[in-house]
A and B are shown apart, each in its own frame.
Chain A
Amino acid sequence: DTGVSQDPRHKITKRGQNVTFRCDPISEHNRLYWYRQTLGQGPEFLTYFQNEAQLEKSRLLSDRFSAERPKGSFSTLEIQRTEQGDSAMYLCASRRTSGRRGDNEQFFGPGTRLTVL
C-alpha cells in the first residue's frame, strides 16, 4: 500500500491553456473522488467514480472540466481553457467499498497545486 499519488504536484500555466492531472488511487480501491481546495477554504467535492463509472458531478464542475477513469484504476482530470479562477489545489481521494459499518475512510493524495497566470 503506497498511498494515493498525484502527478504533477505543481502546475503553472497561462490562462487559456489546457491542463491534465493524474491520480493513482490505492490499489483495489474502487471508489475515487476529486476535490478542489481554494486558499483559505476546505476542500469541495467535484466528482465521484465507482470503478470506471462517473456517478456524480458537482455543479462546480463546469463544462471546461472533464474527468475520466478509463479502466477503473487511475483517473485524470482535465481543465480546458484555464481561467485564473481555476487556481487551486486539486485533491484526489480513494476508498474501498466495505460492508463493515464505519469502514468509510477516504485516503487523500498530496494534491496538485494549479496556478493560472
Chain B
Amino acid sequence: GENVEQHPSTLSVQEGDSAVIKCTYSDSASNYFPWYKQELGKGPQLIIDIRSNVGEKKDQRIAVTLNKTAKHFSLHITETQPEDSAVYFCAASTGTGNQFYFGTGTSLTVIP
C-alpha cells in the first residue's frame, strides 16, 4: 500500500519568512495530493491540492509543487503570518472514493 512520509515534524519561522514542508509517497498510482491545515480544536481544512498532470499550483501565499519522477511534493508558504501557525498534513490518493494516505503532520509555528 501507499506510504506517505512528511518532514519536518516541527517547524518554526519568523513572521514574514517562508516555510516549506515536504512529503514523499511510494505508490506511483497516486494522482491526487491535497494539503490540509488543522488549527487547534478544529478539523483539517483543505487549503490546496495538486493533481499528477500538473507540476505546480499557486494560491496567493501558498504553493504546492509535485515531482512525479521522484515521488515527492512540497507545500510552500511565503510571507508567513502568525495565523499560519497550525498543523499541516499532506496526503496522497489514487482517485475518487479511494483511501487517502496522510503524512504524519508538521506543526508550524510562526513567531511574531
A and B form one complex: no
